[in-house]
Chains A and B, each alone.
Chain A
Amino acid sequence: MSTDKILVATLGLVGIIFTFWFFLMKREKEVSVENEVDITVSGGYSPEVISIPKGKTTKINFLRTDPTDCLSEVVLADFKIRKTLPLNQKVSVEITPQKVGEYAYSCSMNMYHGKIIVK
């Protein structure tokens, strides 16, 4: 095999490993929330992982600053909440989880994900 082919194969392998590490090996920092949290919606949800107490009502304020259409709705299916997020406008939802566990939420097309950990 010629040098350029070896180089391309090596770089390709590195690219694949990097892609795997970059997208699939990320560890999101968990933010502990007491009563209320602001989540910025831009290219995903920040903070992406929040932990909230069981049996208490927590207010989550979503503020979408990213015009991507995909993000214009947020779906918290476990809590039966689907909310339209108008651009630059705070939209609040209140949840009172009764069970401990991890509850994922996403945009309406299931492209962007966030997580609520109930402790």
Chain B
Amino acid sequence: MAEVKKTFPIKGMHCASCVRVLEKSLSRLEGVSSAVVNLATEQASVSYDPQKVSDADLTSAVANVGYKAGLESELKTEDEQRQEKQKQLYDLRNKVIVSLFLGALILWGSFPGLMDIAPPLLTNSWVQLLLAIPVQFWAGWEFYRATIPALRHRTANMDTLVAIGTTVAFSYSAVVTIFPQLVESIGVKPEPYFDVSTIIIGLILLGRYFEAKAKAGTSEAIKKLIGLQAKTARVLRDGKEVDIPIDQVVIGNVIRVRPGEKIPVDGEILEGESSIDESMVTGESMPVDKTKGDTVIGATLNKTGTFLYKATKVGADTMLSQIIKLVAEAQASKAPIQRLADLISSYFVPAVLMLAIATFVVWYVVGPAPSFLYGLLNMVAVLIIACPCAMGLATPTAIMVGTGKGAEHGILIKDAQSLETAHKVNTVIFDKTGTLTNGKPVVTDVVGDVLQLAASLEKGSEHSLAEAIVSKSESEGVKLLKVSKFKAIPGYGVEGMINEKKVILGNLRLMEREKIDISHERGRLARLQEEGKTVVILAVNSKAAGLIAIADTLKETAKKGVEKLQDMGIDVVMITGDNQKTANAIAKQVGIKRVLAEVLPDQKEAEVKKIQQEGRKVAMVGDGINDAPALAAADIGIAMGSGTDVAMESAGITLINKDLASVVSAIELSKKTMRTIKMNLFWAFGYNIILIPVAMGILYPFFHLLLNPIFASVAMASSSISVVSNSLLLKRYKI
């Protein structure tokens, strides 16, 4: 095994002794022949045997002595891989040009009709042999290079088929050229088929070139996400602002972000405010206003203000890193629909080899003269037309594009199985609080001039309804009054003295207890309660002065999201712990007909199972924390992301943008992806099932039709390209 030399950056070096320590530690590794560390450039150059030493070994040897090797930087590996791929593509392009050019010359000199106007030199078999040799053994070398080690493993792949097919055509032509009398003796006209072997190689390599280019597009999403990462952070140290590489930021660092800059890592704003474009991570197109205490997400774009914030998550814990991990895992997973394709493709190549042999035998034994030639050319056509690659690419390429597309719009799909299940969903159950609603009560109606008194009283209360009243007064600029003798009456309300008047605020029971006449407010009270609102009554000196209604408000997108789902023929159900009245009121507002009210959190899972027993495929949409068991019990759990945490174990799909319309988008994306997969599989299998028998010559007895091996190679090359291109079409789908 050849030695490999690698140069990589070392972080944390500051003196000459670091050099010695590092060199010693690296040299001690078994398999390392030399290690040179340069203090000036802060780099290490190591020569080693890659079979004995891995990047991880080098990294830990450096870490053991207290430094950090820049070997695992994802961006660097990406860069290296890109360069490697580009070089491969460049080599491939050269091979395609040379083989198609030489193939065209041979075709000109050998194709009936064309050969009459060809220079005599090109019609010479020996010249054709000389032109075919570089195509067969230089351009076509990669087919042999893949076939030989595969045969050692007793496996065969597409390269095996192409290598055998072109070798048969080339060898036969070489024999015809060198020993024409030998072929004549068996009654066959000595005509070489170098055009077949060369053009097949040229066209298949051309197909591979386009396929490689298209395939690179299927994994673009991850690269895009990695590219979002900021490179540096402006950290405050001893009162000064210092730019440091992002991987050196630690939790607790205070970072300054200016307008137009990327936010380096996740954190919490300490000072200042701004409008932040989070679309690249959450898919939410409107910029979000943030101020002190709000969380910010790394890799999002600061638009207008300058602020200081404290890093709370760095490295692999940031939201972006978690998204990248989740998408990468989803793209590595396998959809159940792929199992059959996998099973078939594992038998496919040997089956084609057996069919090719059978084709030659049948043509030779029962075919018309020259039966040897017919058998040979049809056998080559069978070997060339079979395309196992299209079957192998059909599902994974679509999954990769589909999951990537989702991630771009804040829809994180856990695995291929979730993506596949989502398209079968016919019932969506929404949890009410925090999913359909904002989960935060607000004042919706104020009857009478009571807000000032109510807010002044509630200022001292900690009840969630009190918070709603106080924030309403703040938003309306109401001045609060001084309260004395404040008293909270648990289960009823509050009371206190304002401007020497006794003010009480609370529910109907409190009014009854205090024997306050509310008969003139009863009608309004009932109507507000019908709307699912919680109503409190304010009384001054034992006389009712007015009402305040409080309710959890619907999310802006709730109604539209539910309507869209219903338009798709999906039943929508709401589940909540609230009483039937409140639940019905909310359900009516969004247009949900089936309501499961007064369901305790631990009963939600059972309710989901009940609906499943009705034969429905259920998606449960919840916040992912309180609803975890219900999400896990559903056929697919859809979690509305919270904060910067995207690791939702129980959910198959996580919506980072908390937008209900994304539930529709996720189901539609799943439908589109599945349609693409089915089209791909239909094309890949249909292609092989129809064209292999045609190549064998099944149409010959009826129509005298045979498939020229050159056309077989055109069909073969285009079949995998069409599958990958079809998957790439998913990118155009608008979410």
Contacts and interface: CB of A to CB of B under 8 A. Distances in A.
A106 B331 CA distance: 14
B353 interface: yes
Interface stretch (B278-286, B385-393, B487-495): B385-393
B93 to A, nearest CB: 14
> Which of A16, A43, A61, A76: most chain B CB closer than 10 A?
A43
Interface in A39-69: 42-46, 48, 61, 63, 65-69
Main secondary structure of the interface of B (DSSP, over half): helix
Contacts of A88: 1-2, 4, 50
A69 B88 contact: yes
Contacts of A106: 342
Given A43-B146, A109-B389, A112-B155, A82 B328 contact: yes
Interface residues of B, number: 60
Contacts, number: 142
Contacts of A82: 328, 331-332
> Which of B81, B146, B330, B396: most chain A CB closer than 10 A?
B146
A100 interface: no
A61 B84 CA distance: 21
A90 B55 contact: yes
Interface stretch (B107-115, B156-164, B624-632): B156-164
B142 A89 contact: no
Contacts of A22: 154, 350
A80 interface: yes
A90 B353 CA distance: 34
Contacts of A119: none
Given A8-B361, A8-B365, A43-B150, A92 B56 contact: yes
B357 A89 contact: no
Interface string B124-156: 000000000000000000100110111111111
Interface in B335-365: 341-342, 345-347, 349-350, 353-354, 357-358, 360-361, 364-365
Main secondary structure of the interface of A (DSSP, over half): mixed
Contact of A1 (B56, B357, B365, B392): B365
A68 B341 CA distance: 22
B333 interface: yes
Contact of B354 (A8, A16, A46): A16
Contacts of B714: none
A66 B146 contact: yes
Nearest to A25: B154
B80 interface: yes
A26 B360 CA distance: 26
B54 A90 contact: yes
B393 to A, nearest CB: 6
> Which of B332, B353, B354: most chain A CB closer than 10 A?
B332
Interface string B302-331: 000000000000000000000000001111
A80 B326 CA distance: 10
Q: Closest 6 CB pairs between A and B?
A: A43-B149, A82-B332, A44-B153, A12-B361, A90-B54, A77-B334
Interface of A: 1, 5, 8-9, 12-13, 15-16, 19-20, 22-24, 26, 38, 42-46, 48, 61, 63, 65-70, 75-78, 80-82, 84, 86-92, 104, 106, 108-113
17 contacts: A8-B360, A13-B361, A15-B357, A22-B154, A22-B350, A45-B153, A68-B159, A69-B88, A69-B208, A69-B212, A70-B157, A70-B158, A86-B80, A86-B84, A110-B345, A110-B346, A111-B155
Interface of B: 1-2, 4, 50-51, 53-56, 77, 80-81, 84, 88, 142, 145-146, 148-159, 208, 212, 328-334, 341-342, 345-347, 349-350, 353-354, 357-358, 360-361, 364-365, 388-389, 391-393, 396, 415
